[in-house]
Amino acid sequence: MAAPPQPPPLPAPPRKRLRPGPAAFRSRAAPRAPRCRCPDAMREAEVRRLLAANLLCALAVVLATLGPAFLLDGFSVLGTHLTWLRVCSVCVATLNIILHLVLKPSQFPKRRSFGHKISRFVKCCIYFFMSCILFHAIIVLYGAPLTELVTETFLFAVLLSTFTTLQCLCLLGPNIQAWIRVFSKNGAMSIWESSLQITSVCSILGAWFGAFPIPLDWDRPWQVWPISCSLGATFGYMAGLIIAPLWIHWNRKQLTYKSR
């Protein structure tokens, strides 16, 4: 007899799909991006650092004016003006260098050879001395005595170089192209460079406005060369130190700095 036909095999039951647990979703999820600070918050913090540094520079000028009176007999800004020029230049220059080393607002590479640092320091010294000579020549061309009061004129040029050139050297280094870029239209790439623009321009304008009372026949002690010009440059420098962070804060939304 023939074997009875076997029934067809039953279909296999469908497999149940297991829902992935929370751990599976965690493994498939994209890694979280690291949290970054808001650019506005970073800029506000940088503006506060700039304001603190500028206030310290203004305080250095005040201390250079009032401090020596307790150490030197007969010291006064008008009576011993040459001494005040030396003290003010040294105090402002020293504090600017210290602030540059502490805050490090410049963007120079940190890893550099010792020889390169020495070469850069020597270049900065040469540039500063050349700036003093250049300011001296410009002041003479604007009417200062050529053969008389040479020491007074040169110390005034040193003061102007301290207010302007020294800041450029601390922030930009001995790079003339960077100097030209910063002082060109829309050339600033950071709030520190914007502050450099404002303080330098205010210092030179203050010195220029300080020359106006000299030819007037008032017979005042502060009309003696170069007292009014150096005081004008100092007041302009201090005004620029205060105006710069305030102007940057008020115009922070309009300021757009290019990336380096």
Q: What 3 state SS string does 29-68 have?
A: CCCCCCCCCCHHHHHHHHHHHHHHHHHHHHHHHHHHHHHH
Q: What pLDDT is stored for residue 250 in this prediction?
A: 85
pLDDT of 143 above 80: yes
Q: Phi-psi region for residue 57, left (φ > 0), alpha (ψ -120 to 50) or beta? A: alpha
> How does residue 84 score in pLDDT terms, banded at 50, 70 and 90?
very high
Q: What pLDDT is stored for residue 229 in this prediction?
A: 95
pTM: 0.79
Structural contact between residues 106 and 171, judged by C-beta atoms closer than 8 angstroms: yes
- Taking residues 46-69, what's their average pLDDT? 92
> How does residue 9 score in pLDDT terms, banded at 50, 70 and 90?
low
Highest mean pLDDT of the ranges 6-10, 14-18, 56-60: 56-60
Q: What pLDDT is stored for residue 17 in this prediction?
A: 58
Q: What pLDDT is stored for residue 40 in this prediction?
A: 60
Average pLDDT for the chain: 83
Query: Which range, of 16-20, 67-71, 76-80, 229-233, averages the lowest pLDDT?
Result: 16-20
- Taking residues 171-189, what's their average pLDDT? 87
Q: What residues contact residue 244 under an 8 Å CB cut-off, 6+ apart?
A: 50, 54, 194, 195, 198, 199
The span from the CA of 62 to the CA of 254, in Å, is 33
Question: What is residue 248's three-state secondary structure?
Answer: helix
> How does residue 33 score in pLDDT terms, banded at 50, 70 and 90?
very low
- Using a pLDDT cut of 70, give the percent of the chain over it: 77
Residues in the chain: 260
Q: Which of 233, 184, 225, 183 is nearest to 205 (CA)?
A: 233
pLDDT of 103 above 70: yes
pLDDT of 147 above 90: no
